[in-house]
């Protein structure tokens, strides 16, 4: 790594929100809970130390309340995160835990707080789920507020930033993020965080480029360093050479022109030059993203990941909570189709409200449909909510991680029972909805002909299918170069599933991340998928590309790539046929490699 600041330095992290930003860095302090003075106190000082701690908590609550009050309009949707921090300030493990340390070990309040926080952090860190590991940082953020009051230090005033900058931070607490004036932020760069961290979620919904999970960006970047952030490739370049700067400036200008142009036509269908229509849907994780789906011309919602409603709370959502959310969604979408995926919890997403045993291999463990079939009450609550919402809009349901036909049969039986119970209760619902299976496990690929007899549609989840077929952990950065969507084995599996769907005359869609990458689209079109579904921001570019393609030519390309032995062979073929087109060439140079 670089030892002088002027040297160009490239850092690779997680591209959590796409787009390119070029600008001066603004470094926020590292998380200072790490270095805390240890001081013993005399027994007679215990009472005073406890009240000093309690006052600091009270002060932290007042600070946070003020921050919540001052949250600007565009961040209002995210206030719930700050509310949860407010609760964390009085969390039993932190609050009582600190007091206990002061009483029993006669420690100063700062040190006692650190010990209590470390214990809670360890609990979160041991969770196999990335989402909950990220929630561990919420605890740190909340306790930092208490610490600042104990130490009497003034929190860094992000609200004072007076020029447009790239925020570089160890981690960004939601309290910090909401204080930043949106128009002052060109991009976010953090050591911590992932696709599911709050910074990632917010950055995507605000369309600000973000590269997270860089481990030590705060060690290598200083305030005022010139930085390039490529949120699509997950790259950060510090002190770029003139040549790199020019390259990225050109690419950024091209991207912006391109995005502006394609957004103007994004409401039009993705029809090829020879008249074939490909449905281009959106993947969403939260209701709020529906605005982005509309703005970017999504034909419908191809994947609603419903986990979020279960993750941000200590208890399970009620049928009414779920119903209200699904109903709001379908009412906004009107006639457009909304595909609700049932709970895909476990694996890398866990809920506090459910007790989980230790799992050595959570990705292969009790997740998704396996968990739901073992938890009929939780599953039926969601199914009832889906059927009730279907009365108000165009809903279909799909089941994740199907690995054998019995799971579909059982899930359908439960859906049937949910409908019967609603009927008995006299509640309005729509029982006649389309049912789909996600194809994301190799066994489902090979049994697709059998599964097709049981469902109305397939949706291929390549994020998991690649993970399970190439044996590449999708969240392990050490093997990320082996995670290849255009691996011939992946393409052959997609082909096989499409063939099974065509024979059974059911619809087949693909909703993995690869659908949103331009370089993959000619092949996906040629493999004859009926629909592809992606993050909303990618939709305009993808629709625009489809309009320049010939379906017949794409089919010939698909046949040729199926014969290839290697990913690089596949890429070469795609470039040979499409790489010279002006607008797409710029993207083909950097994506997919
Ligand atoms: C997939 O696996 O491709 C998918 C769309 O689902 P998720 O990313 O939520 O696992
Ligand atoms: Mg999946």
Q: Is 277 a catalytic residue?
A: no
| pLDDT at res. 477 | 61
Q: Which residue has the higher pLDDT, 440 or 137?
A: 440
| pLDDT at res. 132 | 66
**Structure token pair of residue 535:** 């993050």
Say if CB 526 and CB 547 are below 8 A apart: no
Q: Which residue has the higher pLDDT, 380 or 133?
A: 380
> Over the stretch 488-512, which tens digit does the pLDDT of each residue have?
999 999 999 999 999 999 999 999 9
Please report which confidence band the pLDDT of residue 129 belongs to, taking 50, 70 and 90 as the band edges. Answer: low
The residue whose CA is least distant from atom 3 of ligand 1 is 461
Say if CB 362 and CB 128 are below 8 A apart: yes
Average pLDDT along the chain? 86
> Over the stretch 53-72, which tens digit does the pLDDT of each residue have?
888 888 888 877 877 777 77
**Structure token pair of residue 356:** 């989980």
Q: Which of 124-133, 208-217, 377-386 has the lowest mean pLDDT?
A: 124-133
**Residue 280: phi, psi to the nearest 5?**
-120, 105
Please report which confidence band the pLDDT of residue 130 belongs to, taking 50, 70 and 90 as the band edges. Answer: low
| pLDDT at res. 211 | 94
Instruction: Give percent above pLDDT 70 in the chain.
Output: 86
Average pLDDT over residues 353-382: 85
Say if CB 511 and CB 535 are below 8 A apart: no
In this structure, how many other beta carbons lie within 10 angstroms of the beta carbon of residue 314?
9
Length of the chain equals 593
| pLDDT at res. 445 | 98
Instruction: Give percent above pLDDT 90 in the chain.
Output: 50
**Residue 153: phi, psi to the nearest 5?**
-85, 150
> Over the stretch 289-343, which tens digit does the pLDDT of each residue have?
899 899 999 999 999 999 888 875 678 999 999 999 999 999 999 999 999 999 9
Quote the CA–CA distance of 576 and 258 in Å, as a whole number. 22
The residue whose CA is least distant from atom 7 of ligand 1 is 463
| pLDDT at res. 355 | 63
| pLDDT at res. 379 | 97
Please report which confidence band the pLDDT of residue 592 belongs to, taking 50, 70 and 90 as the band edges. Answer: very low
Q: Which residue has the higher pLDDT, 396 or 198?
A: 396
Q: Which residue has the higher pLDDT, 275 or 158?
A: 275
Beta-bridge partner residues of 10? 237
- Local structure of 8: helix, strand or coil: coil
How far is the centre of ligand 2, averaged over its atoms, from the C-alpha of 466 (Å)? 10
How far is the centre of ligand 2, averaged over its atoms, from the C-alpha of 398 (Å)? 12
pLDDT of 9 strictly over 70: yes
| pLDDT at res. 286 | 84
Say if CB 369 and CB 411 are below 8 A apart: yes
Q: What is the pTM of this model?
A: 0.73
pLDDT of 346 strictly over 60: yes
CA-to-CA dists, residue 554 to 243, 428, 528, 559, 583, angstroms: 36, 45, 9, 9, 18
Average pLDDT over residues 545-560: 96
Q: Is 198 a catalytic residue?
A: yes
Q: Which atom of ligand 1 is nearest to the CA of 347?
A: 10
How far is the centre of ligand 1, averaged over its atoms, from the C-alpha of 461 (Å)? 5
Task: Assign 3-class secondary structure to 379-398.
Answer: HHHHHHHHHHHHCCCCEEEE
From start to end of 129-169, where are the E strands?
A: 165-169
Among 131, 200, 399, 440, name the best residue to mutate to test ligand 1's pocket (greatest count of ligand atoms within 8 A of Cβ): 440
> Over the stretch 27-49, which tens digit does the pLDDT of each residue have?
886 554 555 667 788 888 889 89
| pLDDT at res. 593 | 31
Please report which confidence band the pLDDT of residue 154 belongs to, taking 50, 70 and 90 as the band edges. Answer: low
- Local structure of 236: helix, strand or coil: strand
Average pLDDT over residues 184-193: 89
Average pLDDT over residues 429-437: 98
**Residue 555: phi, psi to the nearest 5?**
-65, -40
Beta-bridge partner residues of 168? 27, 189
Q: Is the CB of 190 under 6 A from ligand 1?
A: no
Can you tell me which residue has the tokens 């009414």? 320
Please report which confidence band the pLDDT of residue 408 belongs to, taking 50, 70 and 90 as the band edges. Answer: very high
Degrees to nearest 5, angle at CA 188 with 265 and 156? 140
Q: Which residue has the higher pLDDT, 564 or 360?
A: 564
DSSP one-letter code for 456: S
> Over the stretch 518-551, which tens digit does the pLDDT of each residue have?
899 999 999 999 999 998 988 999 999 999 999 9
| pLDDT at res. 475 | 67
Say if CB 14 and CB 193 are below 8 A apart: yes
Nearest to 200 by CA among 320, 127, 308, 296: 308
Beta-bridge partner residues of 227? 23, 238
Quote the CA–CA distance of 588 and 582 in Å, as a whole number. 10
Average pLDDT over residues 340-361: 74
| pLDDT at res. 2 | 39
| pLDDT at res. 507 | 98
How far is the centre of ligand 1, averaged over its atoms, from the C-alpha of 401 (Å)? 9
């Amino acid at each position: 790594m670089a030892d002088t600041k002027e040297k160009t330095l490239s850092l690779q992290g997680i591209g959590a929100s796409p787009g390119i930003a070029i600008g001066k860095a603004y470094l926020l302090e590292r998380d200072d809970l790490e270095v805390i003075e240890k001081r013993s106190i005399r027994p007679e000082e215990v009472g005073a130390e406890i009240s000093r701690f309690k006052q600091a908590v009270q002060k932290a609550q007042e600070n946070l309340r003020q921050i919540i009050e001052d949250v600007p309009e565009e961040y209002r949707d995210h206030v719930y995160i700050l509310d949860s921090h407010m609760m964390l300030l009085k969390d039993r493990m932190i609050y009582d835990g600190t007091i206990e340390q002061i009483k029993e070990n006669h420690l100063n309040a700062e040190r006692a707080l650190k010990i209590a926080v470390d214990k809670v952090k360890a609990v979160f860190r041991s969770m196999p789920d990335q989402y909950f590991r990220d929630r561990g940082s919420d605890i740190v953020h909340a306790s930092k507020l208490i610490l600042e009051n104990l130490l009497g230090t003034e929190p860094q005033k992000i609200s004072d930033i007076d020029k447009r900058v790239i925020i570089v931070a160890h981690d960004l607490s939601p309290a910090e993020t909401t204080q930043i004036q949106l128009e002052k932020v060109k991009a976010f760069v953090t050591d911590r965080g992932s696709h599911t961290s709050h910074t990632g979620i917010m950055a995507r919904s605000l369309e600000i480029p973000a590269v997270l999970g860089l481990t030590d960006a705060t060690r290598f970047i200083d305030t005022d360093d010139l930085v390039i952030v490529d949120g699509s490739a997950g790259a950060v370049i510090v002190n770029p050479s003139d040549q790199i700067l020019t390259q990225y400036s050109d690419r950024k200008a091209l991207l912006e022109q391109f995005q502006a142009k394609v957004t103007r036509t994004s409401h039009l269908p993705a029809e090829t030059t020879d008249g074939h229509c490909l449905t281009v849907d959106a993947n969403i994780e939260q209701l709020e993203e529906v605005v982005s789906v509309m703005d970017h011309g999504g034909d419908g919602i191809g994947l609603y990941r419903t986990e979020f409603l279960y993750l941000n709370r200590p208890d399970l959502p009620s049928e009414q909570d779920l119903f209200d959310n699904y109903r709001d969604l379908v009412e906004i979408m009107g006639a457009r189709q909304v595909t609700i995926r049932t709970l895909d919890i476990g694996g890398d997403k866990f809920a506090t409200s459910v007790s989980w045993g230790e799992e050595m291999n959570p990705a292969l463990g009790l997740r998704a449909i396996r968990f739901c079939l073992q938890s009929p009450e939780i599953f039926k609550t969601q199914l009832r909510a889906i059927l009730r919402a279907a009365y108000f809009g165009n809903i279909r349901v799909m089941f994740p991680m199907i690995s054998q036909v019995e799971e579909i049969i059982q899930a359908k039986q439960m859906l049937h029972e949910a409908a019967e119970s609603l009927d008995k209760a006299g509640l309005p619902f729509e029982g006649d909805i389309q049912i789909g299976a996600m194809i994301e496990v190799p066994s489902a690929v090979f049994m697709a002909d059998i599964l097709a007899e049981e469902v109305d549609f397939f949706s291929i989840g390549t994020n998991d299918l690649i993970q399970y077929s190439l044996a590449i952990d999708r969240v392990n950065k050490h093997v990320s170069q082996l995670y290849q969507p255009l691996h011939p084995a992946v393409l052959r599996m997609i082909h096989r599933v499409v063939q099974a769907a065509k024979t059974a005359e059911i619809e087949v869609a693909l909703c993995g991340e690869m659908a949103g990458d331009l370089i993959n689209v000619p092949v996906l079109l040629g493999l004859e998928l009926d629909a592809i579904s992606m993050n909303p921001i990618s939709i305009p570019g993808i629709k625009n590309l489809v309009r320049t393609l010939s379906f017949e030519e794409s089919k010939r390309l698909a046949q040729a790539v199926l014969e290839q032995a290697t990913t690089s062979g596949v890429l070469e073929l795609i470039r040979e046929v499409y790489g010279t087109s002006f607008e797409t060439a710029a993207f083909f140079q950097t994506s997919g490699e």
